[in-house]
């Protein structure tokens, strides 16, 4: 049973435009959410996180939005750059130190 879902396996965006990656979850106990970026043959790299007490967290070009009532989070990248091309995973957990539940990933391609 997939508790974290990324329904778009791929996304293509023009350089300079906004990339929006979406993620849905089913477990209302989740209180900590993260986005990871993964290049081929490398492990996932932590990008940005948000706790359930917030609805937005921003770090440079990356902003994560959390809608608890809809059990939905999104990652906005603006402006998108070719180096952002990678697979993006969202992950969720509840309580400190617990395992993360990952989505299946969205492959982002930023076209120069």
Q: Which is nearer to another protein, 9 or 82 (CB)?
A: 9
Q: Which is nearer to another protein, 12 or 45 (CB)?
A: 45
Question: Residue 77 CB, nearest distance to another protein (Å)?
Answer: 18
Nearest to 66 by CA among 55, 76, 57: 55
Q: Which is nearer to another protein, 21 or 91 (CB)?
A: 91
Question: Residue 25 CB, nearest distance to another protein (Å)?
Answer: 12
Question: Residue 49 CB, nearest distance to another protein (Å)?
Answer: 6
Find the radius of gyration of the CA atoms of the chain.
13
């Amino acid at each position: 049973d997939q508790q974290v879902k990324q329904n778009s396996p791929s996304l293509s965006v023009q350089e300079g435009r906004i990339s929006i990656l979406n993620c849905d979850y089913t477990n209302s106990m989740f209180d900590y959410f993260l986005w990871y970026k993964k290049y081929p043959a490398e492990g996932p790299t932590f990008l940005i996180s948000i706790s359930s007490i917030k609805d937005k967290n921003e770090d440079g070009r990356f902003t994560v939005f959390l809608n608890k009532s809809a059990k939905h989070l999104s990652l906005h990248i603006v402006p998108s750059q070719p180096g952002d091309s990678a697979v993006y995973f969202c992950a969720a957990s509840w309580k400190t130190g617990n395992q993360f539940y990952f989505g299946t990933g969205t492959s982002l391609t930023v076209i120069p």
